[in-house]
Amino acid sequence: MSLAADAREAVRARPFVHAGLCAGVLNYAAAATWLIDDPKLDLPDEPEAVATALRRFEADLPEHDRVPTSASVSMRSGVSVANSGDDSDGDVLSIAGIGLERGGSATAIVADGDLDANALAYVLRRLAIDGIEVEAAGIAEGTCLVLVGRREGVSALRTIEDAIEAVPSVVGS
């Protein structure tokens, strides 16, 4: 493979570097050095050449846009995960036999609307950045569910509402 192809493959395998390129905020020299130092990659020890490959790759990427999303977000306190095996009436929500039932120490944040897996991934990343531990998460048919500890419920709700308003688009390679 060529250096350009190797650099593109390395960027695709590290989504945060890809996002930085798409947003136009990446320090090419620092990224090249970081990628070269990664023992899992087989990039030559030529920071300037790798930085040039990153610049060229960025030129081929579409601009980083935010996807307009519309969702209502609600919070349900006092729930727990239950492996009910069915969709029993006691469940608050249930997917594939794993349900959330009333009577627990967790808080479920539910967002309904124009959401997809990209939105969930962005929400989870934002929660991680804010130091909010996620106990469970999922998405189906435009509904996103995130389960957090009771004490983190309000913070998680605010973070999720903010994240949903700023979901970046998934861009091509």
Read off the pTM.
0.74
Mean pLDDT of 154-165: 94
More confident site: 67 or 155: 155
- Residue 82 predicted with pLDDT over 80: no
In this prediction, residue 92 has a pLDDT band, given cuts at 50, 70 and 90, of: low
Give the count of domains, the chain: 2
- Residue 123 predicted with pLDDT over 70: yes
Could you tell me if 90 and 113 lie in one domain? Answer: yes
What residues contact 108, with CB distance under 8 A and at least 6 apart?
Answer: 75, 76, 79, 92, 93, 100, 145, 146, 147
According to the model, what pLDDT value does residue 34 have?
Answer: 94
- Residue 8 predicted with pLDDT over 50: yes
- For tokens 């605010």, name the residue: 158
Could you tell me if 121 and 160 lie in one domain? Answer: yes
d(C-alpha 141, C-alpha 42), whole Å: 40
In this prediction, residue 80 has a pLDDT band, given cuts at 50, 70 and 90, of: confident
Could you tell me if 78 and 115 lie in one domain? Answer: yes
CATH number at residue 81: 3.30.70.260
According to the model, what pLDDT value does residue 173 have?
Answer: 41
- Residue 171 predicted with pLDDT over 60: no
